[in-house]
Amino acid sequence: MHAAIGSLCQGSVWTIAPPTKHSVSEQSPVERRGIAPLLSNRPLLPTRSLYIAPRHGSSASCVAPHEQWGRPAFRTGPRIRYIAGTAAAGPAAAAYRQQGRSFRTGFITGKGEEHMHGNDAKKAAALLSVALSLALGGCGGDGGQTEMVSPTAAATTRSITETTTSATTRWAPALTDTWQIQLTGRLNTSYAVTAYDFDLFDTPQATIDALKAQGRRVICYFSAGSSEDWRPDFNQFTEADQGAPLSGWAGERWLDTRSANVRRIMQARMDLAVSKGCDAVDPDNVDGYTNSPGLPLTAETQLDYNRFLAAEAHARGLAVGLKNDVGQVAELAASFDFAINEQCFQYRECGAYTAFTGQGKPVFQIEYATKYRDAATRAALCAKSQAANLRTLVLPRTLNGSFRYACDA
């Protein structure tokens, strides 16, 4: 075992395997402090462990995560294994990061390195991201100064979360795909549409499973640019992470999207999306710089954050939509798989979305104006929508499912 790597792995279970060879891996406890209760009286081999490895070369690689019995994280293969990362993953990743080296991740079993595909790869990526997120910075705080992420650091974060999911085929929405979005109220899943956009936190697992069984795609909504004081992870935001209230939306405040802590929370939300079986994510409020956020956000910081979100989603095998941010559509269309727009006909902004439709990427579009509930006015709207190749719905502003008019048959 390489001495430097060994020192990084103290306090956890480590595994050594030459990344370019499929040799039998070694695994040994190294000072089981902190995890002894979890591993006592449990066999160490054979097992499955996540690994962190250099993307190229044959040097040894440190594996920090360990099996945590009793907490279901994911299932793979003929046996169910419960796995969670330890804090040792953080120093291991940091060591590579300081050297400017990129990473790959996967599983090592008692029989050697194992390449993963499909959902197993997605779930492994999600799990590793949780481990790194917790290890590299923890959550929440006492309202003190918040660690900021520069564009260079954001790129480094993306390199850490690059995983074997790069081989996973994520959903590529088609230009003609139809959709429904509902974020409040009793969910109506009776529409014959390609995709449903539902709330990440509030949607029951059974609803997602039923939709997937019908061949539907599931887009999972969360706010990436605001804190919401009713969310289960709200207490992880520090006071310094939060700016001014969102006008008209009680309980919400703009987020400092430069914050490393904010980004870790968003990574964890995408991990949740993976674990629930979402095909894509719909991160909302990603245009804070155009509002009055009470924070020094700029067009540059917004571009960096939105590209960060897209890269993190893709690293997990998730498709991702760009929500509004019309002023940056041309610069961001290449990074996103689809767009979701609100009221571009009302504000005469729909022309910007040729940046998506020109690439064969759909634009899921919503209008809220009361006038569109009139059949004749709606017919004129739909004619313009179809000419622009947009997938337009007329919906209540609360998105509660109380009515729905679709321009697509």
132 lies in the same domain as 228: no
Selection from 137, 133, 81, 130 nearest residue 107 by Cα: 81
pLDDT digits (tens, 9 = 90+) for 328-350: 999 999 999 999 999 999 999 99
- In this prediction, residue 148 has a pLDDT band, given cuts at 50, 70 and 90, of confident
pLDDT of residue 123: 45
246 located within any domain: yes
| Ramachandran assignment for 313, one of left (phi > 0), alpha (psi -120 to 50 degrees), beta (any other) | alpha
Q: Are 242 and 290 in the same domain?
A: yes
Which tens digits make up the pLDDT trace of 246-262? 999 999 999 999 999 99
pLDDT of 118 reads 41
Domain end call among 98, 132, 167:
167
Alpha-carbon gap, residue 344 to 216, rounded angstroms: 26
In a domain, 351, yes or no: yes
| 386 lies in some domain | yes
Q: What is the pLDDT of residues 9-39, one digit of tens each?
A: 344 333 333 333 222 233 333 222 232 222 2
Which pLDDT value is given to residue 214?
98
Domain boundary among 118, 143, 167: 167
Query: How many structural domains does the chain have?
Result: 2
Q: Which of 119, 137, 167 is the endpoint of a domain?
A: 167
Residue 227 contacts residue 241 (beta carbons within 8 Å): yes
Is 173 contained in some domain?
no
- The backbone region for 209, taken as left when phi is positive above 0, alpha when psi lies in -120 to 50, beta otherwise, is alpha
Per residue in 285-308, pLDDT tens? 999 999 999 999 999 999 999 999
Decide: 153 and 98 in contact? Cβ < 8 Å. Answer: no
| pLDDT value, residue 225 | 98
| Predicted local confidence at residue 78, as pLDDT | 28
Same domain, 246 and 117: no
Looking at the fold, whether 250 and 128 belong to one and the same domain comes out as: no
Strand partners, 108: 49, 113
Rg (CA), the chain: 22
State which residues form the domain around 49. 3-167
Is the residue at 323 inside a domain?
Answer: yes
State residue 129's pLDDT score: 47
How far is the C-alpha of 333 from the C-alpha of 353, rounded, in Å? Answer: 9
Give the CATH number for residue 361.
3.20.20.70
- pTM assigned to the model: 0.65
Q: Is residue 174 part of a domain?
A: no
Q: What residues contact 201, with CB distance under 8 A and at least 6 apart?
A: 222, 231, 232, 272
Residue 190 confidence class, pLDDT cut points 50, 70, 90: very high
Per-residue pLDDT for 387 more than 50?
yes
Give the pLDDT confidence score for residue 145 in this predicted structure: 54
Establish if 123 belongs to a structural domain.
Answer: yes
Q: How many beta carbons lie within 10 A of that of residue 45, not counting itself? A: 12
Q: State the DSSP code for 38.
A: H
Share of the chain above pLDDT 90, in %: 58
> Which run of H or E residues covers position 243?
strand 242-245
> Is the same domain home to 203 and 340?
yes
